[in-house]
Chains A and B, each alone.
Chain A
Amino acid sequence: MIRLQNIEKVYRTDTVETLALNKVSLEIAKGEFLSIMGPSGCGKSTLLNIMGLLDEPSKGEVKIDNQKTDNLSDKLLAQFRNKKIGFIFQSYHLINDLQVLDNVELPLLYRSTTAKERKQLATEALVKVGLSNRVKHFPSQLSGGQKQRVAIARAIVGQPEIILADEPTGNLDSAMGNEIMDILLQLNKNDGTTIVMVTHDENMAHKTHRLVRLFDGSQVQ
């Protein structure tokens, strides 16, 4: 499903060159639930961003669904992300000015759907994460766990084949974290969604199919 080959990422400033990722190669199968662990600053999020086509590698190749992604235009990249990938972020990244339902509808705005379809799909996604009674609320009226559920609903509303989650339980207490993890496991099991999750939590990581460890930008496990 996702194939990374010799990925390197170098951050350059005027005086310093930092190697964030060093020849990382990884193949993730369809339907797999993979977790990535490692100390802060080891390049986990950078790797996830490259997989999600949010960032470009300095060297190496990213293939998704056997399709090369380098040289895709801004418009095609946007379409690709829209159809194939759903993101979940540690700090939720909900749009505070929009109600829950509008937040969840967001990915559908960028494809040809009617308002009615959008509403229906968004409601279904919210039912899946157990938040169907909060559609008219604004993010500021929700708890951390509820916000993350909205974020999951937003990630799955477009029925992407891949979900990339960057420390989805990082800001939550363990009970909430477990609830969110359960939802992700269900998605993987029931819908066959491929999930890649960055985490600091060993317990969470051990619930997934496979664990990859990074250290100083290199893959160590």
Chain B
Amino acid sequence: MLKNYFKIAIAVLKRRKFFTFISLFGISFTLTILLVLTAFIDKVVGDNYPDKKRDRSLYISRISQVGKDATSSGPVSFYFLQHYAGSLKTPVKIAISSGFNGTNTYVNNKKIAVNYKYTNAVYWEILEYDFLEGKAFNKQQVDNADKVAVISADMKKQYFGDVPSVVGQYIEADNVKYRVTGVVKNVPITSYMTYSDIYLPYTVAKDGDYKNNKGYQGGYFGILLANSAGDVDKMHKEYEQMVSRLRPTEKWATNVYSHADTYIKAYVDTGDEKHSGTFIAITAISIFAFILMILPTLNLVNINITRIMERSSEIGVRKAFGASSSTLVYQFIVENIILTLLGGVIGVILSFIVLQIINSAHLIANLELNINFMVLFIGLLVCLVFGLISGVYPAWRMSKLNVVTALKAQ
């Protein structure tokens, strides 16, 4: 039975190629927009692991020195965070971490690419990583410059294989062996301020940048934690005031800019003072795109009605030879689901291409979108719902058609 439905569905698709194209285009285009949009929202807004205290946190990701002809912009220095941000009264804690750096390590002569970052001890108090085993390194260990490490679950699997526990074992990175104190759940690379494979105390950093670099710019990020969500505004203002008092360290520079922003603002902060509305623009475009999606949906329902009505003679014949109304509804729904799933597959492929283009075009600094399985699952579910919505009504209407009328329609 299903094979027969499949055959007829494919035959119908081939019969009216233009309709098929419009239907498939409608579904795949809609799904592509949906997948790209959700991939974006999912990564930037939705995923609050491990910084679950976002409502009372402000993020310092960049500092810029701007002159008449030049701009220097980048992550802040450890000194800046400790000395300037550390002098603020409102924050109760400051998490400091470096950006992640890449290196290679070897296990059984197999090369593994490893990203590591340095953090202070408070980092582990503000950010709520899920420890699968062990725990974070403490202040004492940081102060002592102990060679200890927290690693991600992925790193554990890659480096040690499928073993129950690795706490106390040693992992080598950048030619130094570190003792593992804990294993945390993976953080997606898109959360670039918290992602890493290996987390190390900042005091073990070989370059000594944390103590030698007294400039504003360096390789670190900061997270300021307020006592409550109500204090965030106050904390923001205090930070802005502190930055406004800063004098440029470069001769050519006239102004220093840095912001302690909410996660999203900090995330899309490109250091460009004139275009801080990037996120607002993207949101507006996304909403616009979402509204646009309603059109292909309605179009699909309309096309399906036309398509099914065209087949009234076939419906008459099927009824004459023993198909009940419910059997026919079932057939049309199956056919429609085949169509929408086909559109879904094309949509997923299109999404991959579009995401690839968005990623490679670097529309937003460090934003890397990818389809996760949840989004894919939702996308396919949306396809099925499309199939049902756009198929059920026309099928039901058609199945109720009088056989004699249906047969005359040819």
**A contacts, CB < 8 Å to B:** 49, 52, 54-55, 74-75, 77-79, 81-83, 86-87, 89, 91, 93-95, 97-98, 102, 105-107, 109-111, 115, 154, 158
Contact = CB atoms under 8 A, between A and B. Distances in A.
Contacts of B402: 55
Contacts of A93: 313, 316-317, 407, 410
Contacts of B321: 81-82, 86-87, 106-107, 110, 154, 158
Contacts of B404: 49, 54-55
B357 interface: no
Given A49-B403, A98-B11, A107-B321, 16 more contacts: A54-B404, A77-B324, A78-B325, A79-B322, A81-B320, A81-B321, A87-B320, A89-B407, A93-B407, A94-B317, A95-B314, A95-B317, A97-B7, A97-B12, A98-B7, A106-B317
Contacts, number: 76
A105 B15 CA distance: 21
A84 to B, nearest CB: 10
B110 interface: no
B318 interface: yes
7 contacts: A78-B319, A78-B323, A79-B322, A82-B322, A83-B322, A93-B317, A105-B4
A154 B318 CA distance: 11
Contacts of B317: 93-95, 106
B403 A54 contact: yes
List 3 tightest A-B contacts by C-beta distance, closest first: A82-B322, A97-B11, A110-B322
Interface string B297-322: 00000000000000001101111111
Question: Size band of the B side of the interface?
Answer: 20 to 34
Contacts of A77: 324
A98 B324 CA distance: 20
B251 interface: no
B interface secondary structure, majority? helix
A193 B290 CA distance: 61
B322 A55 contact: no
Nearest to B11: A97
Nearest to A154: B321
B3 interface: yes
B346 to A, nearest CB: 22
A75 B324 contact: yes
Nearest to A103: B317
Contacts of A79: 322, 324
B336 to A, nearest CB: 16
Contacts of A95: 8, 314, 317
B13 to A, nearest CB: 10
Contact of A111 (B12, B322, B407): B322
A97 B325 contact: no
A110 B1 CA distance: 8
Interface string B314-352: 101111111111110000000000000000000000000
Contacts of A109: 1, 4, 323
B323 A110 contact: yes
Nearest to B319: A78
A161 B372 CA distance: 59
A81 B4 contact: no
Nearest to B327: A110
B316 A81 contact: no
Interface in B360-406: 402-404
A107 B320 CA distance: 9
Contacts of B314: 95
Given A78-B323, A93-B410, A106 B11 contact: no
Interface string B1-20: 10110011001100100000
Nearest to A52: B320
A82 to B, nearest CB: 3
A81 to B, nearest CB: 5
Contacts of B12: 97
A105 B5 CA distance: 13
A138 B171 CA distance: 68
A55 to B, nearest CB: 5
Nearest to B320: A87
A78 B11 contact: no
A86 B319 CA distance: 12
Contacts of B316: 93
A110 B322 CA distance: 6
Nearest to B8: A97
Contacts of A98: 4, 7-8, 11
B11 A115 contact: no
Nearest to B399: A74
Contacts of A94: 317
B403 A102 contact: no
Contacts of B410: 91, 93
Given A89-B407, A93-B313, A98-B7, A107 B322 contact: yes
A115 B5 CA distance: 13
A81 B316 CA distance: 13
Contacts of B313: 93
Contacts of A158: 321-322
A139 B4 CA distance: 16
